[in-house]
Amino acid sequence: SSDLGHALRTYSPSPYEGAPSCSTADLNKAVLESQYLRYVTKEVGSSHWDEDVRQEVCRILEEMSQNLQLGSIRLMAYTLTKVLKRLFTGIFVNMEGLNMLQQAIQESPVILMPNHRSYVDFLVISYILFTYDIPLPVIAAGIPLAGMKMVGEILRRSGAFFIRRAIGSDKLYWAVLSEYVKTIVRKGCAPLEFYVEGLRSRTLKSLMPKLGMMHMVLEPYFKGEVYDITLVPISISYDRVLEESLLAHELLGIPKPKESTTGLLKATKVLQEDYGNMHVNFGRPMSVRRLCQGKINRCQYNLIPRDLPQKPSAETQACVSGLANLMVRIQEEGSLISPWSLMACLLLQAPTTVLTQEGLLWHQLTEKTLWLRKLALDFGAHLNWPGQVPDLDVMSSTVTLHRSVVHLKAGRVYLVREEEPVRKHPISPELDVIRTAAAVLMLASYRNQSLHVFVRPCHAHFPIYELFAFFWFLRDIFSNEFIFIPGKSSQDFEEACFLLNKCGAVDISEQEVIVSDARLEVLSFLQALLQPFIHSYQVMFRYLCEDGGNVFTEKQVLPAVRNRATKLILSGELHTYEALSSDTQKNGLSALQRLKTVTKSEQNEYRVNKAAVRRIDDILCESAYFKYS
Amino acid sequence: MPKYTKPPSHLQEILKWNGWGYSDTRFLFNKKGQAEFTGKRYRLSGMIIPALQNWFEGTFGASVQHKSPAMPILTSSAVQPPTLNEAFVDELKSTGIPCSHDAEDRVFRGHGHCLHEVFALREGKVGRVPDIVVWPNCHNDVVKIVELACKHNVCLIPYGGGTSVSSALECPPEETRCIVSLDTSQMNRILWIDEKNLTAHVEAGIVGQELERLLNESGYCTGHEPDSMEFSSLGGWVATRASGMKKNIYGNIEDLVVHVKMVTPQGVIEKGCQCPRMSTGPDIHHFIMGSEGTLGVVTEVTMKIRPMPEYQKYGSVVFPNFEQGVACLREVAKQRCAPASIRLMDNEQFKFGHALKPQVSSIFTSFLDGLKKFYITKFKGFDPDRLCVATLLFEGDREKVLQHEKQVYDIAAKFGGLAAGEDNGQRGYMLTFVIAYLRDLGMDYYVIGESFETSVPWDRVLDICRNVKARIIQECKDKGVQFSPLSTCRVTQTYDAGACVYFYFAFNYRGLSDPVHVYEQVEHAAREEILANGGSLSHHHGVGKLRKEWMRETISDVGMGMLKSVKNYVDPKNIFGNRNLI
């Protein structure tokens, strides 16, 4: 009944500039009649704005457009209250962030930029804003959601607008979408919410931001159509993610179920479990005007009509990419790190056989976790470690919450592998590897939640004579894997040295970095943290140099690398199961593309320069097997 | 000491030395705290303005209790003794042309009306000022003066009406030569009127209102009415590319000028005929117009004249919001049916205008006002905090004016505009002349402000207005201004391809240690914002020294080179050394 009361509460937010929110029809009309679309139509070949094109645009708009309605929001609020209460012990929101947001929304158009770790994210922001009387956002969503019976329409009425996945070279679609987004920002009809990472992260690690939407959102500022735009990075952190096992399987090449309403209903069994707490941290609202100061010359639009379609200048591209990466970094910094994530870091550093067979000593793990907690705090992490409860209780209740991944028995911790159905034949060694890998990847994704805290120092754990070279090399190789803000490598390096110095792992004096012997513990932890990635990339690189042909497609290469990795694991030559993750493999491939050792043709075929890959592998090898003396 | 002679007519005697306009005319808060406008020169003169105090205190957070009065008189000791070039002075005196090195005369010609200039005068601070003032009586006098200046290497700064707002009259502090202010005020005759071609040949020192008065006596007018026309001179208009309120009918100065004579260090430049248009290479008038006193002195101008209009009618339209108002002006421009003048004030200026309503004499008028307000806000649902008003002036023969009026009101109605009466329109234009006096009132109570202008393509008008106003507010906040500023604008001219926008900006500076510096920083930021939004560096105020830093990006390197090479040829010794423009 109080849930119903919440859903029916009086809702009267103060919008931007006191302007009344514009109706769906007004918005669509403004897009349809925009000068920009006229120009684009001419470009796509239609000599004049004829009826066919107009109808095509209307069709696209109909498929795309949101239809935010208060009634649906109330329904959504009611349902969500029920669901969220069942799933989570609590949802925590930082009130000072929410207050700043409330203020910001009245001053300029606001872009809400949450990270995306679970389907649950989707309406949670709207739900919170509804609860605190803040104008509701319109939300960019993937088109598959629109296809779900009923649910698609409910989402649409809750403010979702839908974007096709592969837009490719469909200029007209691209133009309609871009004008639609820009009109929302220009008019300030509603806050706009979108996932700058583009997708839900399968690994719980931040993804490299996608820039298309970011360009659309920022352009009204660059062109002076609005005075300022406010970006609000939002970090959603889960103690436990609903999709944990699905995600791990997806990474192993088992496809995710298609988004469908029946699928959603089937998934109700996940509703029976406990997922701990959810933390939503609204970041400090950031003024695009201030962020772009000195980076964008707005006069560049003075000599051509602003509606004329144009490729963004190099300066603009660099600025947009810098901002997008910055937002992801702030999302990372704003996320709360659970004790479980720290434990996952440590569990993964134990040999897998220990975890699956003899078990890891509980007291060893707890001691090490407390040590890591201090290190994380030194590195400036936001920990979610309950203070009132004894540390040991915190850790054991954490393990209880994650009984799907580990279990504690007789003072030892074991990795939980999925129950296998009873079979006639014994399970093949290959399938057994997959079973272990699924559990390891789940563990890895929870480790990934705190990876950003350590990743910069990780790249700098080398002695001085190699340090600079290695740092840049690794940052370069791994810039698809971890978020680094482009062009900020010296800052990253300085930060890394500062942190290492702060935790006492190194003494930096007179431009010399000296490893203090007593602190090898930190350095070997950092080295071990990075090792799975280095080894996984090596599997990939070696496959490319040795086994594969000169030309291949992604569809060929991923299973082949997975096979090779499986063989290496079985023969005991490879110790990390993470090499089986398609995400890591794809990132490795992108890195090679970026370094121009692999080139992609228009037919989506890759061509590899084997000698160059081998050279990269050699350096990677050096950095991986470096031993402290 | 050499003997000096002063010219017979001397406008200086009836003008303020440290503020705007006539000495007998000013705003003040009387003992009851009510605002009053003194003197007899304007329609508002001698009237009580009951709402001004409230508006003033409410808008600026100022108080009539907190005064910041100006120094009443200039102390001669504040003025540095003149650097005189004795040889030049001796020869000058032998020509019999009047001149003076009196401190007051020199100070009077050492400034324009930028905020920092007036603020310094009110504090009794005087920087580098001209060393001698000279009053040529005709073109030939100017020729002699320029020859002597070249011969003795002294610096000449032409002076017309002194209404510059671009630091153009400031003496460059680095100038070590004797600086001579060449005051054209005695060259104020109409030399002839050519009724067959409708032109008048006029000496360049004549001020606007005098020119109109004299022409009116013969049944003609130029129709050129810049807001400063009471004091600004014909030569000044040419030198800055001035624009008049009624340019839609009569054109801007470049459209009005048929022939110009200018004295330069290389000699006199002029065309050989008085033809309406020529294809003879780049128009040499365009080296002269906008040269801002860097190349020579404009002495005589042939201007187009028109018969005085048979009929004039003011008008006004209220729009529900500024966006609609701009859309209406754009449509009017598109249909090329703009009246003599059409101006659109934003909501803040609309309220400001209201605060300047004089006390009404009859209950009936105030009842009518109340009724009008009720009709617009309650019946028509206009939001008093969003609505804005356009003022109109129609001119021509009666029938055509009425027809034209209907056309414009019909367009306005399409954009939600409601006709709001002649009276509101007329008051709007009257305020143009009065508003400059208001700045002095503000300065008596810790409020400083200024106006600046730009021109911008139509599609950017709304954006530039919003962004510049917001930038001003933000910069004030960032720079530590304790009270929220007045930041307002109006669209004052329409063209085929764009419009001219005027910004007013003022703030209460209590609590600031260096208010003028803060003011300058904010104005600088506002100009950057204008340029970033596709606006021009200036529509009609000119560049002077205030906006020089942006010239290169405004006209490109080659453009700068062209201007510099002209300067180098015409004035290699930099006799006209005010250092404006380039």
pLDDT band at A459 (very low <50, low <70, confident <90, very high): confident
Place of tokens 């010609």: B109
Q: Half-sphere exposure of B236 toward its Cβ, with a 13 Å CA cutoff?
A: 34
Which residue in B421, B541, B420 sits closest to B492, CA to CA? Answer: B541
> Does B429 participate in catalysis according to the annotation?
no
A230, with CB counted inside 10 A (0-12, 13-18, 19+), is buried
The strand ranges marked E within A81-175 are 90-93, 110-114, 138-142, 160-163
Q: What is the pLDDT at residue A491? A: 87
Give the DSSP letter string of A482-520. Answer: S---TT-HHHHHHHHHHHHHHTTSEEEETTEEEE-GGGH
Angle at B506 between CA B501 and CA B509, to 5 degrees: 160
Q: Does A227 touch chain B (CB under 8 A)?
A: yes
Say which of B502, B504, B509, B519 is annotated catalytic: B502
- Of A225, A227, A298, nearest to B470 by CB-CB distance is A227
What is the C-alpha separation between A348 and A577, in angstroms, rounded? 10
From edge to edge, which strands make up the β-sheet containing A598-600? A551-553, A605-608, A598-600
SS3 A300: helix
Each residue's pLDDT, cut to its tens digit, for chain B (582 residues) gives: 345 566 656 778 899 999 999 999 999 999 888 999 999 999 899 999 999 999 999 999 999 999 999 998 888 888 999 999 999 999 999 999 999 999 999 999 999 999 999 999 999 999 999 999 999 999 999 999 999 999 999 999 999 999 999 999 999 999 999 999 999 999 999 999 999 999 999 999 999 999 999 999 999 999 999 999 999 999 999 999 999 999 999 999 999 999 999 999 999 999 999 999 999 999 999 999 999 999 999 999 999 999 999 999 999 999 999 999 999 999 999 999 999 999 999 999 999 988 888 887 666 666 666 667 777 777 778 888 999 999 999 999 999 999 999 999 999 999 999 998 898 898 888 888 888 999 999 999 999 999 999 999 999 999 999 999 999 999 999 999 999 999 999 999 999 999 999 999 999 999 999 999 999 999 999 999 999 999 999 999 999 999 999 999 999 999 999 999 999 999 999 999 999 999
The rounded Cα B331 to chain-centroid distance in angstroms is: 27
- Asked if A435 and A420 touch (Cβ cutoff 8 Å), the reply is yes
Residue B445 labelled as part of a binding site: no
For the beta carbon of residue A191, count every other beta carbon within 10 angstroms.
28
What is the C-alpha separation between B243 and B251, in angstroms, rounded? 8
Chain A residues whose beta carbon lies within 8 Å of the beta carbon of residue B456: none
For the beta carbon of residue B361, count every other beta carbon within 10 angstroms.
9
Q: Does B371 touch chain A (CB under 8 A)?
A: no
pLDDT band at A319 (very low <50, low <70, confident <90, very high): very high
What is the C-alpha separation between B582 and B574, in angstroms, rounded? 12
**B384 CA: distance to closest CA in chain A (Å):** 14
Chain B residues whose beta carbon lies within 8 Å of the beta carbon of residue A224: 460, 463-464, 467, 532-534
Residue A374 in this model has a pLDDT that exceeds 70: yes
A353, with CB counted inside 10 A (0-12, 13-18, 19+), is exposed
Q: Does B410 touch chain A (CB under 8 A)?
A: no
Query: For residue B397, what are the contacts with CB-CB under 8 A and spacing of at least 6?
Result: B309, B310, B311
Specify the DSSP class assigned to residue A356: I
Q: Provide the whole-model pTM.
A: 0.92
Q: What is the pLDDT at residue A629? A: 41
Q: Which amino acid is at B546?
A: L
Quick one: closest CA in B to A303, which residue?
A: B534
Q: Does A107 touch chain B (CB under 8 A)?
A: no
pLDDT band at A49 (very low <50, low <70, confident <90, very high): low
The strand ranges marked E within A78-188 are 90-93, 110-114, 138-142, 160-163
Higher pLDDT pick, A475 / A280: A280
Chain A residues whose beta carbon lies within 8 Å of the beta carbon of residue B467: 224, 227
Chain A residues whose beta carbon lies within 8 Å of the beta carbon of residue B533: 224, 298
Residue among A302, A315, A316 with most chain B CBs within 10 A, to mutate: A302
Residue B173 labelled as part of a binding site: no
SS3 A207: coil
What is the C-alpha separation between B280 and B269, in angstroms, rounded? 15
Mean pLDDT of all residues in A460-481: 78
Inter-CA distances, B435 with B215, B427, B493, Å: 27, 12, 18
A-contacting residues in B 483-542 (Cβ below 8 Å) = 531-534
What is the C-alpha separation between B59 and B353, in angstroms, rounded? 13
Inter-CA distances, A139 with A149, A194, A208, B225, B235, Å: 19, 6, 20, 54, 61
Place of tokens 């202010």: B181
What is the C-alpha separation between B472 and A616, in angstroms, rounded? 54
- Asked if B577 and B156 touch (Cβ cutoff 8 Å), the reply is yes
**A195 CA: distance to closest CA in chain B (Å):** 28
Q: Does B471 touch chain A (CB under 8 A)?
A: yes
H-helix or E-strand spanning residue A57: helix A51-64
Mean pLDDT of all residues in A158-163: 92
Q: What is the pLDDT at residue A376? A: 94
**A485 CA: distance to closest CA in chain B (Å):** 27
State pLDDT tens for residues A82-124.
888 888 999 999 999 999 999 999 999 999 999 999 988 888 9
Q: Does A305 touch chain B (CB under 8 A)?
A: yes
Interface contact B532-A299, CB threshold 8 A: yes
> How many separate helices (H) and strands (E) can be counted in chain B?
18, 21
Chain B residues whose beta carbon lies within 8 Å of the beta carbon of residue A227: 466-467, 470-471
Q: What is the pLDDT at residue B2? A: 44
Q: What is the pLDDT at residue B1? A: 39
Q: What is the pLDDT at residue A18? A: 55
Q: Does A301 touch chain B (CB under 8 A)?
A: yes
Which residue in B175, B91, B170 sits closest to B573, CA to CA? Answer: B175
Q: What is the pLDDT at residue B365? A: 64
- Of A227, A305, A306, nearest to B467 by CB-CB distance is A227
Quick one: closest CA in A to B554, which residue?
A: A299
Q: Which amino acid is at A265?
A: L
State pLDDT tens for residues A164-187.
987 778 889 999 999 999 999 999
Q: What is the pLDDT at residue B38? A: 95
H-helix or E-strand spanning residue B453: strand B447-457
Mean pLDDT of all residues in A269-278: 83
Chain A residues whose beta carbon lies within 8 Å of the beta carbon of residue B462: none
Residue B292 labelled as part of a binding site: yes
Residue B447 labelled as part of a binding site: no
